[in-house]
Amino acid sequence: MKRVRTAKGRKVSSTRWLERQLNDPYVKRAKAENYRSRAAYKLIELDERFGLLKGVKSVVDLGIAPGGWSQVVRRKAPQASVVGIDLLPTDPLDGVAILQMDFMAEDAPAKLNEALGGPADLVLSDMAANTVGHQQTDHLRTMALVEAGLEFAQEVLRPGGAYVAKVLAGGADNQLVAELKRSFTSVKHAKPPASRKDSSEWYVIAQGFKGEGG
């Protein structure tokens, strides 16, 4: 195990983060396989389990930065066009249209729709709200993003499409699960192996979109 010397002015938490990065097999693998982030393997593992990318032609990546998930889509489904959005800047990716703006902005869904130019097969959301350390507040903020992503997915998905979103431990709350079940034939929660064990993140996987009106 590689140790990092605590440099002057560096917080203990920063040193721990660096140590974890240096000893993380997914970080090493991402570098070797030219993925922009270790998060790419979360989607790879979810796809292996749920067949998310099979035959997709149009994908939306909510919270695209730094681009790892879109890289996976382009490698596994080279026929797919991808539209991504993030508040943070994202380096260009071949076959991916990137909007740098807040997904929660009023005009964001319309701009994504315009870039899509038709229905989507898959809406992916790895968005996470900035955490404040208060569990209930963090959960509510994240759920607001999941709900906004679902609303958008209901508008753009073609029948049979899928919606995948990051949620926190405990998964989507009952009300949201009920809404997902109204719109999709299958709703499951999963924690891919690439998701760090000490992380509270889970994903909700909703497949088989029933079309408008559920």
Instruction: For strands 120-125 and 201-209, give the pairing.
Output: unpaired
The DSSP line for 94-121 is TTEEEEES-TTSTTHHHHHHHHH-S-EE
The 10s digit of each residue's pLDDT in 118-146 is 999 999 999 987 766 777 777 788 889 99
Q: Which residue has the tokens 């539209």?
A: 83
Catalytic hit among 11, 42, 54, 166: 166
Residue 191 known to be catalytic: no
- State the span(s) of the chain assigned CATH 3.40.50.150: 37-209
- Look up residue 77 and give its amino acid: A
126 assigned binding-site residue: yes
**% the chain with pLDDT above 70:** 85
94 assigned binding-site residue: no
Confidence of residue 4 (pLDDT cuts 50, 70, 90): very low
Residue 15 has pLDDT above 70, yes or no: no
Residue 183 has pLDDT above 70, yes or no: yes
Residue 8: the pLDDT is: 53
Answer whether 138's CB lies under 8 Å from 129's CB: yes
pTM of this prediction exceeds 0.85: yes
Mean pLDDT of 15-31: 68
Residue 58: the pLDDT is: 97
The CATH class of 37-209 is: alpha beta
Mean pLDDT of 26-43: 88
Task: Name 202's bridge partners.
Answer: 167
